[in-house]
Structure 1
Amino acid sequence: MAAISAAQVKELRLKTDAPMMECKKALTEAEGDMAKAEEILRVKLGNKASKAAARIAAEGVVVVYVSHDRKLGAILEVNSETDFVAKNPEFLKMAHDSVKLVAEKNPATVEELLALPLDGTTVDGVRTGLVGKIGENMTFRRFQRIEAKGELSHYVHGSRIGVIVDLVGGDHELAHDIAMHIAASKPKAIDETGIDPALIDSERRIAIEKAREAGKPEQMLERIAEGSVKKFLKEVTLVNQPFVKDDKKTINDLLKAAKAEVATYVLYVVGEGLEKKSNDFAAEVAAQAAAAKQA
């Protein structure tokens, strides 16, 4: 049996918010497989075990650019080490200038974006200059460019959550409402066809194991699992979610009434999937003291 390290236990705890001993037991049962261990915890602890997975860990901003004719847009995430730098005017200018370059120059990768001309140097030159001036690392993490099939709208919540939506039909008010809804409800896809089959399989397995542990008859397990999967798909697909401004209507109801459809959308949350560096203050002091003795 593979040995379970403290780092693995810590990683699973950060993902699930489950007690340390439960994390260790789950990892042992899963023989070190992180994804399987997370499933085991969800069976034992319910959805509570996955709440921490969406916690924002890194600092930075999400910025959006939409052209005047609403036909071209881009969304970009730039990370910093602290929230203080994320509010710095020069950092924000760099991010806004860069997202416009994404839309206009269409770089294929972050490396290509960093090589584009900006302010007499390159995007990376501006970034490097700010790193030297402020003394804190900054990284360009990800971006996406959209050429609209309909018209683009966007919503940015506090610079940490950004959404850009391509709506075919309807009007700008509806597009903005849907962008705001996406920021609040964080759907995983427009409809069921956009959901990763692996996620559906995982939900089905979890439902079966929970039903089995609850003592349900074996012949009922598949039916129970199908019900759970349907509920899951309603919760995570945009068109099936209750509208945040009026939960008596779904997004699909709004779209049908306006004879509109969402062609695509992009949702970025700052630091999603990243873990903020955790400084051990005591260890840092001890290291400084040791260095002072050797000097």
Structure 2
Amino acid sequence: MANYTAADIKALRERTGAGMMDVKKALDEADGNMDQAIEAIRIKGLKGAAKREGRSAAEGLALAKVVDGTTGYLLEVNAETDFVAKSDKFVSLAEKVLDVAVENQLASAEALLDAEVEGKKVSDYVTEEGGAVLGEKIVVRRLEKISGAYVDAYLHKTSKDLPAQVGVLVAVDAESESAKTAAHDVAVHAAAMSPSYLTREEVPENLVADERRIAEETARAENKPEQAMTKIVEGRTNAFFKEHVLVDQPFAKDPKVSVAKVLEEAGTAATGFARFRVGN
């Protein structure tokens, strides 16, 4: 009979998050030795990682942290199922990974995965912890870092049973109370309205050219008069900008004014922006 007690089983489950049967099997194999049992569970998790490699990880969460009010970090971490995505252990893992990004002032997922946590690379840590504790493929998908005179972070839950699925950072060039309020309002707006770019200048030239071409071809197919073609193309291109560019979008709380106007009236302007929706 293996040399362990019900208390040992409980302790090992609390330390590893592994299931009851996995814990019992590990203790059996280790003849009750706690350290060896933990190692066995971790090894099992790594072996399972190879099988999980090709599986899709489209669930997860968005996390954000702002340091000193001036530097924001936005992270997306994915899991395979919403069951794991809403678990405390998955959330804790993601928070630890975000802390590494903040402590090392990192600005990309690639740099984050190459950083160290608890004596190992973040990439290895996520694989081991995800496999041994959660039993799923865990992916650190995206990380953004933006800075400004003031940075607001907003996280939105699309389901009350899940962690935040949408995360937004907005940086502005002033730190007055009105600027802070406007930055937050714009961050909430961005969560709902899904802009892709901060300004028109950020939109790739080839994308704008395609929109102009499509607008012209559509107008010709509709037999619009030639003398009105330039105005029609410009109007439809501007409509594209209003849909995809944050500062050009009609403000969600008052569509009669643009986001840029809202910021201007608050005495500030947007200097940075990031938005993640989990899985998109």
The TM-score, its normalising length taken from structure 2, stands at 0.69
Identical aligned residues as a percent:
36
Q: CA deviation at 1:213?
A: 2.0
Equivalent residue letter for 2:255: D
Q: CA deviation at 1:72?
A: 2.2
More deviation, 117-126/73-82: 117-126
1:189/1:195 contact within 8 Å kept: yes
2:137 corresponds to 1:137:
yes
Distance 2:251 2:63 in 1: 24
Offset from partner CA, 1:196-236 (integer Å, 9 cap, x none) = 11221121122122222223345544442222112212232
Match among 228, 244, 253 for residue 236 of structure 1: 244
1:71/1:152 contact within 8 Å kept: yes
Q: CA deviation at 1:246?
A: 2.0
- Secondary structure in 1 aligned to 2:196? coil
Q: CA deviation at 1:63?
A: 0.8
- Secondary structure in 2 aligned to 1:210? helix
Equivalent residue letter for 1:163: V
Partner of residue 265, structure 1: 273
1:102/1:145 contact within 8 Å kept: no
Distance 2:148 2:271 in 1: 7
In structure 1, runs of 5+ residues without a counterpart are 1-56, 273-295
Equivalent residue letter for 1:269: R
1:94/1:126 contact within 8 Å kept: no
2:188 corresponds to 1:180:
yes
Q: Rg larger in 1 or in 2?
A: 2
Change (3 A) 1:243 1:220: closer
Distance 1:230 1:108 in 2: 32
Partner of residue 76, structure 1: 75
Partner of residue 211, structure 1: 219
Partner of residue 250, structure 1: 258
Equivalent residue letter for 1:77: E
Q: CA deviation at 1:108?
A: 5.9
Partner of residue 36, structure 2: none
Change (3 A) 1:114 1:191: closer
- Secondary structure in 1 aligned to 2:273? strand
Question: Aligned residues, how many?
Answer: 214
Q: CA deviation at 1:256?
A: 1.7
Equivalent residue letter for 1:210: T
2:173/2:270 contact within 8 Å kept: yes
Distance 2:228 2:255 in 1: 32
In structure 2, runs of 5+ residues without a counterpart are 1-56, 158-163
- Secondary structure in 1 aligned to 2:148? coil
Equivalent residue letter for 1:99: L
- Secondary structure in 2 aligned to 1:154? strand
Which structure 1 residue ranges, 4+ long, deviate > 6 Å from structure 2? none
More deviation, 117-126/92-101: 117-126
